[in-house]
Each structure stands twice: as C-alpha cells, then as structure tokens.
C-alpha cells in the first residue's frame, strides 16, 4: 500500500512524514519521528501513557490515526519544557517525588498541563477525575495529585 504524506506541526515545529494509513499517531511519533517520550502501555486508550494534545485537546495518541494530524498542531512531552527551563509541573513532579518508575510520567504531565490550561484552580476531585484516564501503578496517585494542585496554586500566584 502506498504511504501517505502528512504535513503537521509538532511542538511548534513544522513536520512532514510518511505513514501507512493505518498507523496510529503513537506509531508515527515513536517509530517514524523518534519522539519516544510518549509511551505505549495498552494501545487501547486505557492507560494514558501515550497522551498528547491535538490543537490543545488532550487525546490518546494510540487511538488517533497519524493521518489525522494533517494540518493540525500536536504537542508531546518533548515540547513541554521551554529550552532548558522546565514547565512548573515538571519541576514540581521532581520536587515532590511524583514519579517512581517514570513510565506514566510523560502522559501524566501532558494531561495535567491540559487540565491547568482549562482550569487553573481545580479541586482535588477535579484533578482526580481528569487524571482518571492515566494509569499509574507505582505511586498510588497521592503525590501526583498533590504536585498538580501545588503547581496550580503557584501558577495562580504568579
């Protein structure tokens, strides 16, 4: 089958790539574009390890076709820090030990960032429900929820 040519924007950079029509966005990111920060935990939309944003909307890249990124704007974990300056969420995850093995961390950060953009002052319950699509087997979520809430508070104070 002939490959499809896709023109898109990833983390602010114009990008072109070829893919099979059946390739997922996660396949394209990891396999073709070598952006392996997004992880595959399930390939069925149940773990959130592959979370990215498509035009600022949080999506599971394993559930999206690569061709659907044509003309749109994709953001991944690799685009979260500004140069060598970490995003406040990244910094807070480090300070508050909100990661253990780290495999869920990219997805957690991308999802938390999407939450704070929508709702800069989420309640604990709102954080928990927003992150319910991101599985973490190591932390029991406690430290992750605290880190997100604390980042939100600091960002509001600025």
Partner 1 sequence: MNLVTNNKWIGQRTIRPDGMDKVTGRAQFAADTTMPGMIWGKVLRSPHPHARIRSINTAKAEALPGVKAVVTSKDIVDFPIEKGAVMLGIQDMRWMCRNVMARDKALFPGHPVAAVAATTEAIAAEACKLIEVDYEVLPWSIEIDDALKPDAAILHEFNKFDGKPSNIAGRLEHKKGDIAEGFKKADVIIERTFTTRPVHQGYIEPHACLISVAPDGKTTIWSSSQGQFMVRAMTSMLTGIPQSDIRAIPAEIGGGFGGKTIVYLEPLATLLAKKSGRPVKMVMTREEVMRATGPTSGSKSTVKIGATKDGKITAAHGTFYLQAGAFPGSPIRGAAGCSFTPYDIPNLLSEGFDVCSNRSKVAAYRAPGAPIGAYAVECVLDEVAERLKMDPLDFRLKNAAREGTKAAHGPVFPRIGYVETVEAAKASPHYAAPLGDGQGKLRGRGVASGFWFNAGGESSAQVNITEDGNVVVTTGHPDIGGSRAGIANICAELLGIDYRRVSVIIGDTQTVGFSNLTGGSRVLFASSMVVTQSTEKIIQTLRERAAKIWEIDPEAVKWEDGAAHPVSPNAGQFEPLTLQQLAEKAPAMGGPIGAGVQLNTQGADGGFGTHVCDVEIDVDLGIARVIRYTAVQDVGRAIHPGYVEGQLQGGVAQGIGWALNEEYIYTKEGKVDNPGFLDYRMPVCSDLPMLDCIMVEIPNPKHPQGVKGVGEVPLVPVMAAVANAIYNALGKRFYALPMSPPKVLEVLEAPTQQAAE
Applying CB under 8 A, which of residues 70, 101, 121, 156 lies at the interface with partner 1?
Answer: 101
List the x/- string, 13-52, binding to partner 1 by CB under 8 A.
-----------------x---xxxxxxxxxxx-xx-x---
- Work out how close the CB of 105 gets to ligand FES at its nearest, in angstroms, rounded to a whole number: 6
Residues 97-136, interacting with ligand FES (CB under 6 A): 99-104, 136
Pairing of strands 13-19, 4-10: antiparallel
- Work out how close the CB of 72 gets to partner 1 at its nearest, in angstroms, rounded to a whole number: 20
Q: Could you tell me the CA-to-CA distances from 126 to 13, 114, 116, 118, 132 in Å, in that order?
A: 32, 13, 11, 11, 10
Beta pairing partners, 65: 24
Residues 14-53, interacting with ligand FES (CB under 6 A): 40-43, 45-50
Applying CB under 8 A, which of residues 3, 7, 21, 94 lies at the interface with partner 1?
Answer: 94
Instruction: Return d(Cα 40, Cα 42) in angstroms, integer.
Output: 6
Which residue bears the tokens 């773990």? 47
- Work out how close the CB of 47 gets to ligand FES at its nearest, in angstroms, rounded to a whole number: 3
Instruction: Return d(Cα 120, Cα 59) in angstroms, integer.
Output: 19
Closest CA to 112 of 133, 81, 85, 89: 89
Answer yes or no whether residue 100 interacts with partner 1 by CB under 8 A: yes
> Which residues touch 23 (CB under 8 Å, ≥6 apart)?
31, 32, 65, 66, 67
Applying CB under 8 A, which of residues 70, 140, 154, 156 lies at the interface with partner 1?
Answer: 140
For residue 119, the partner it binds in ligand FES, partner 1, none, with Cβ less than 5 to 8 A by kind, is none
Residues in touch with ligand FES (CB under 6 A):
40-43, 45-50, 60, 62, 99-104, 136-139
């Amino acid at each position: 089958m002939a490959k499809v040519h896709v023109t898109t924007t990833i983390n602010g950079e114009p990008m072109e790539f070829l893919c099979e029509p059946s390739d997922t966005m996660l396949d394209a990111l990891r396999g073709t574009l070598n952006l392996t920060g997004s992880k595959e935990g399930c390939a069925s939309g149940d773990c959130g390890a592959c979370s990215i944003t498509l035009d600022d909307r949080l999506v599971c890249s394993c559930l999206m076709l690569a061709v659907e990124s044509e003309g749109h704007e994709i953001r991944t974990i690799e685009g979260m820090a500004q140069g060598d300056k970490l995003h406040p969420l990244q910094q807070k995850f480090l300070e508050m030990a909100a990661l253990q093995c780290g495999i869920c961390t990219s997805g957690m950060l991308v999802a938390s960032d999407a939450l704070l953009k929508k709702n800069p002052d989420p309640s604990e319950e709102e954080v928990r429900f927003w992150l319910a699509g991101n599985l973490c087997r190591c932390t029991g979520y406690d430290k992750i929820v605290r880190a997100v809430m604390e980042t939100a508070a600091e960002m509001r104070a600025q």
